[in-house]
Amino acid sequence: MAAMTRPRRKGNAALPKNLYRYHDARTDRTYYRYRDPRTGKFHGLGTDHTQAVADALALNAAILATLQSARIAAIATPVQTTSGPTLGRVILHHLERAEKLHERGRLADNTLKAKHSHGEAWRRRLGDRPIAEISVRDIAEALAGYIDQGKERAAQALRSEAIEIWKTALSEGWVDDNPPAKTRAITPEIKRARLTFEVFQAIYQQTGNTWLKNAMALALLTGQRREDIALAQFSEIHDGGWWCVQKKTGSRVFLPLQLRLDVFGQGLEEVVRQCRSTNILSRYIIHQTQPRGNSPVGSPIWKDTLTKAFHAEVLALGNDWESKQPPTFHELRSLAERLYAAQGNVNTQTLLGHRDPRSTALYKDTRGAEWVMVKVG
């Protein structure tokens, strides 16, 4: 019996295939977007329902014909050779699983897009080979081609996705080993400077931007990502803390109001009070304090606006970052982890919402921006 596909979410059920609607909390409007079934990439189709439906039907007619030909070619390849399925078939299965996770909100749009891109790269390279016959050497040679071109980050991402593809194959019993995991780990040269507390203080004191100062304080106190800071609402603060559902992973993190960063001299309760002190009626903790373009007073701050405003303040310092790029707003997350780790009374893995302690460990690396102190006794 053929496997049944998972039904679409209620809000998208009546729409043509590959057309999705979503509500933008910033503008309180409903938008439509089309997901290209070949790449997983979304394309905006505006706010007009009738036009979006017509465009989606036209796109389906144009794209699905070519997609069907490619899929027929993939299906024509034997599912089971004497050595098991080809890598191309495993990748197809791997991406189908990723699509289901995305539909359930457990996989971010950009993550899905990256999986499609990396999966396609591996399919082109080794897709017609039985996966069980692909060796560590085959994977290493493929990655070496990227490294030789100076594309270490691409090689690192491709290696990581290959490991996940082989994990999918392992879970289905198609292979007994994971060759990509046996290749040498790739560590690209880090080109972005870490944010130090001294630099944070300098920016915090120099900026005259009220909402940026509030966003910086909230990010440093909580260690949350910029999208969680940008969309945080006052209604999420109740019963003694901020009940944060992280947008990227869906992790649920409760941050008590008594959470305090001693070196900063403030606690979460004080920072929330500071954000309320604008005396502007808004649902959002970080909100516009003056009208800007199409954003009225009280509207949320778009995450990219956070990044740009912080970047402008960093450049205004006039620091020499040597061969590295200046730190970004995201570096506040790493700084929070390092400061709380030094303080010693906060579980930083829980704070950041990491399931894997190795993820937290990455934030501990100061990248040479801070002195390592030798402690005696």
Q: What is the pLDDT of residues 320-366, one digit of tens each?
A: 888 788 999 999 999 999 999 999 988 888 888 876 555 555 555 55
3 located within any domain: no
Most confident of the following: 81-85, 232-236, 288-292 = 232-236
Q: Which residue has the higher pLDDT, 181 or 78?
A: 181
Residue 202 pLDDT greater than 70, yes or no:
yes
1 located within any domain: no
Question: For 355-374, what is each residue's pLDDT tens digit?
Answer: 655 555 555 555 555 544 43
Q: Which residue has the higher pLDDT, 328 or 4?
A: 328
- From 159, 333, 338, 340, the catalytic residue: 333
Instruction: Tell me how far apart the alpha carbons of residues 167 and 178 are, in angstroms, rounded to a whole number.
Output: 7
- Mean pLDDT of the chain, nearest integer: 84
Q: At which of 155, 182, 209 does a domain end? A: 182
Question: For 126-161, what is each residue's pLDDT tens digit?
Answer: 999 999 999 999 999 999 999 888 889 899 999 999
Nearest to 275 by CA among 210, 230, 206: 210
2 located within any domain: no
Residue 38 pLDDT greater than 90, yes or no:
no
Contact criterion met (CB below 8 Å) for 155 and 146: yes
Instruction: Tell me how far apart the alpha carbons of residues 232 and 286 are, in angstroms, rounded to a whole number.
Output: 7
- From 20, 34, 340, 363, the catalytic residue: 363
Question: Percent of the chain, pLDDT > 90?
Answer: 53
Residue 20 pLDDT greater than 50, yes or no:
yes
- From 38, 137, 248, 308, the catalytic residue: 248
Q: Residue 301: which pLDDT band, with cuts at 50, 70 and 90?
A: very high
Task: State which residues form the domain around 232.
Answer: 197-364
Contact criterion met (CB below 8 Å) for 363 and 337: yes
Residue 290 pLDDT greater than 70, yes or no:
yes
Contact criterion met (CB below 8 Å) for 334 and 195: yes
CA dist list (Å): 200 to 64, 117, 207, 307, 328: 50, 36, 11, 14, 11
Are 26 and 172 in a shared domain?
yes
Strands (E) in 36-148, as ranges, are 42-44
Is 363 an active-site residue? yes
Is 71 an active-site residue? no
Residue 318's contacts (CB-CB under 8 Å, 6 or more residues apart) are none
- Segment 69-88 mean pLDDT: 62
pLDDT in the model for residue 263:
96
Q: What is the DSSP string of 101-112?
A: HHHTT-S-HHHH
Q: At which of 182, 207, 234 does a domain end? A: 182
- From 125, 225, 226, 338, the catalytic residue: 225
- Segment 16-29 mean pLDDT: 80
Q: What pTM was computed for the model?
A: 0.57
Are 212 and 343 in a shared domain?
yes
Contact criterion met (CB below 8 Å) for 102 and 109: yes
Is 330 an active-site residue? yes
191 located within any domain: no
> How long is the chain?
377
Are 225 and 141 in a shared domain?
no
Structural domains counted in the chain: 2
CATH of the domain at 355: 1.10.443.10
CATH of the domain at 144: 1.10.150.130
Are 173 and 293 in a shared domain?
no
Are 359 and 214 in a shared domain?
yes
- Segment 222-247 mean pLDDT: 93
125 located within any domain: yes
Are 176 and 201 in a shared domain?
no
| Tokens 């004080």 found at | 270
Contact criterion met (CB below 8 Å) for 292 and 310: no
Q: At which of 182, 215, 230 does a domain end? A: 182
Are 132 and 263 in a shared domain?
no
Residue 277's contacts (CB-CB under 8 Å, 6 or more residues apart) are none
